[in-house]
Chains A and B, each alone.
Chain A
């Protein structure tokens, strides 16, 4: 199993390479450069900056230089935030994004699986309808509507929570962003769990277990939950991707110092190195998560063995 996961991670290198290459050339194809301003720079200053940042070299040479630096772990200087290197910016932003993302994911799993299981057990009863309607609502309201709404209610009207900011990751600052990130995931996970749980509960071995007179609680928790979680685990890959794009919105609206907002800002300001840095980081994260998901899947599903 270890050998397999190492193989999977190594196998992901071409994926990362494709991603880096696509992102690199797309960024460079975009019109405009990082030093453009409303009042254009004096030509000699522009030439000097281009020389310092190697922007005067042909594109393939820049690409080769960049790849070489990435292999050595150097993501280069940021163009937009001139006093920082991309490594420093990511090192500072990553803990924030990770903390938000992991908290949201854990919460979504706990709430989603619980709600989905309850709905499945009371199929077509009031609980079921309530859970599923709530889930639908969670899916149907975009996060950029949810976020300002929550700010308006909880920060501005009620004054219970801060309207934004990070304050070193205080719980009160994390609450609203985490809720916005979590809701749609809870919804998806609850739906998935409900569907697969209903299916599993109808299967022969559950009938057998019930026939043996085992208490319902034991039947559900010991026998049904594990197979019912399989689709949820496969959903984790897309869930990570959803969290990442959600973080772009949430970090912007709540003004959080994570790396998600670097991406959009960096892309708009032609901060080539910063955008590439975020792409590499998020790309690696998605790849590693997919490997972990495979492992968890294998662990849950006795049919898959390496």
Chain B
């Protein structure tokens, strides 16, 4: 034993050295004025102009504030802009900034800050994914201190929705110019929202604390917010149940029924501006120029079973492209959506035969999706429905995300899974995504009439006429079957009863400044 000692001592020393380098242990459980939120994954960046994911938007929204800001129910209202006016032709918007708006270092938030930031956001060197959203802005000017004027290329009734997005948030010019890409770091970052960043441990947490200079700080009730990046939904749930989190970002679908039975008071399932759909590649056979086939496949699937049983956590069967819950818009519905299932199937079989397929000569098609449990279930179910109802021989192929995007964008596949999340509460965000030039349109669907209708809607000032144009465009889209809508997403979250001020909304935005913790 004595002779072995050095080895044991050595190992123990190594253990002690490594074990000793940890940080202090934190207090057990969340203290009263600190809110712990589950937030999916590590932020890709905290630069509001380069951020990509809606999950990271949650952090950005606490740190920054745009001209327009979300109110407690998700509706839009004054942010840094106190009031604004729109010119008669709808092309000139004039914003008056509140004079008590401050950055977290005490500097005043000026109209120049916004002008500079909007220009930075769309500059190609910034590499923003959402720059296109601001393309309606033709010119920015600051005619007098505290006033920002935006000149647009067309009347854009949904402009407030755009200006509430991170892409239109201001960044602190001096900080960005001094620190470059490092400006988002704690200690360096200067922000103008209700909170400022104090800690950012990659893959552990982001901690923000109230910005005492925020113009409305007296209304901020939560002192600090900790965002935890938790990728696995089951882990997030376990941590929520163990009391580590006040709010989750989502729930594991498999646990939906269990949660409904056991935690129904804390479970919030809310319609969300997002459609789950399959796209047909229209640039190649078998779908190129084969409308009956596309329609047959769309009719043959049972959306009720898919939404309610296969996904089964409150999702809504989708027969159209634009989600319900959009302001000033009526959800479209193809005629057959109200037929009994047998009639739909009979029609699907007729169309399938018309398209030239039969039991002897079945359609052989590959269905591609990106690797994820939920997509896999839907794909298995759809392939099975097509086989049972039409005799289609569908093979499944899953690819991980980047490979999948590559196959999609180079149009190397046949039927593929996709989804779209509306950026703001207006049908335009959906209508635009199906235009022939849009980045989401990997189906290769080109319809000039459709593009013209959407463009015309963008120029229309009268809300009723504009709505009519957009609805007409969607009916055209639905009659051509380039896509097969499957279900409308819902946002799902668990919120502890101690969290007050939580108002479920279609945008699924819950800025921490509107929340509070009960004792």
A residues sitting closer than 8 Å to B (CB atoms) are 30-42, 44-45, 47-49, 52, 77, 80-84, 88-89, 92-93, 95, 98-99, 102-103, 106, 109, 148, 151-152, 155-156, 159, 162-171, 221-222, 225-226, 252-258, 261-262, 268-270, 296
Contact B11 A106 (CB under 8 A): yes
User: For the complex, is B359 an interface residue (Cβ under 8 Å from A)?
Assistant: no
Contacts of B4 on A, CB cut-off 8 Å? 221, 225-226
Q: In the complex, A253→B182 CA distance in Å? A: 30
Q: In the complex, A170→B231 CA distance in Å? A: 21
Q: In the complex, A165→B232 CA distance in Å? A: 12
Contacts of A270 on B, CB cut-off 8 Å? 402
Contact B25 A269 (CB under 8 A): no
Pick the contact of B402 from A30, A95, A162, A167 — CB < 8 Å? A30
Q: In the complex, A226→B182 CA distance in Å? A: 53
B residues sitting closer than 8 Å to A (CB atoms) are 1-4, 7, 11-12, 14-15, 18-19, 21-26, 42-47, 50, 52, 124-125, 127-129, 131-132, 181-182, 184-185, 201-204, 228-232, 234-235, 238-239, 241-242, 244, 400-403, 405-407, 409, 418-419, 433, 438-440
Q: In the complex, A81→B50 CA distance in Å? A: 11
Contact B125 A221 (CB under 8 A): no
Contact A168 B22 (CB under 8 A): yes
> Which chain A residue shows the least CB distance to B185?
A83
Contact A253 B201 (CB under 8 A): no
Contact B402 A93 (CB under 8 A): no
CB distance from B89 to the nearest CB of A (A): 28
Closest 5 CB pairs of A and B: A169-B22, A32-B402, A168-B23, A163-B238, A257-B203
Q: In the complex, A171→B22 CA distance in Å? A: 10
Given contacts A45-B124, A95-B21, contact A103 B239 (CB under 8 A): no
CB distance from B212 to the nearest CB of A (A): 25
Pick the contact of A52 from B11, B25, B125, B409 — CB < 8 Å? B125
Contact B202 A31 (CB under 8 A): no
Contacts of A256 on B, CB cut-off 8 Å? 203
Q: A92-B201, A166-B204, A258-B203 are in contact. List 8 more A-B contacts (CB 8 A).
A: A41-B439, A44-B124, A45-B124, A151-B238, A156-B241, A163-B244, A168-B25, A169-B22
Contact B241 A36 (CB under 8 A): no
Q: In the complex, A99→B17 CA distance in Å? A: 9
Q: In the complex, A268→B399 CA distance in Å? A: 10
CB distance from B455 to the nearest CB of A (A): 18
Contact B3 A32 (CB under 8 A): no
Pick the contact of B235 from A88, A222, A255, A258 — CB < 8 Å? A255
CB distance from B215 to the nearest CB of A (A): 27
Contact B26 A167 (CB under 8 A): yes
A-B Cβ contacts below 8 A, count: 178
Q: In the complex, A83→B182 CA distance in Å? A: 6
Contact A252 B418 (CB under 8 A): no
Given contacts A42-B131, A82-B45, A162-B239, contact A99 B22 (CB under 8 A): yes
Contact B403 A30 (CB under 8 A): yes
Given contacts A166-B204, A257-B203, contact A102 B15 (CB under 8 A): yes
Contact A82 B239 (CB under 8 A): no
Contact B19 A103 (CB under 8 A): yes
CB distance from B401 to the nearest CB of A (A): 6
Contact A170 B181 (CB under 8 A): no
Which of B11, B202, B230, B406 counts the most chain A CB atoms within 10 A?
A: B202
Contact A109 B11 (CB under 8 A): yes
Pick the contact of B15 from A106, A221, A254, A262 — CB < 8 Å? A106
Contacts of A222 on B, CB cut-off 8 Å? 1-3
Contact B128 A151 (CB under 8 A): no
Contacts of B438 on A, CB cut-off 8 Å? 39
Contacts of B401 on A, CB cut-off 8 Å? 32, 268-269
Q: In the complex, A225→B234 CA distance in Å? A: 44
Q: In the complex, A30→B405 CA distance in Å? A: 12
Contact B402 A31 (CB under 8 A): yes
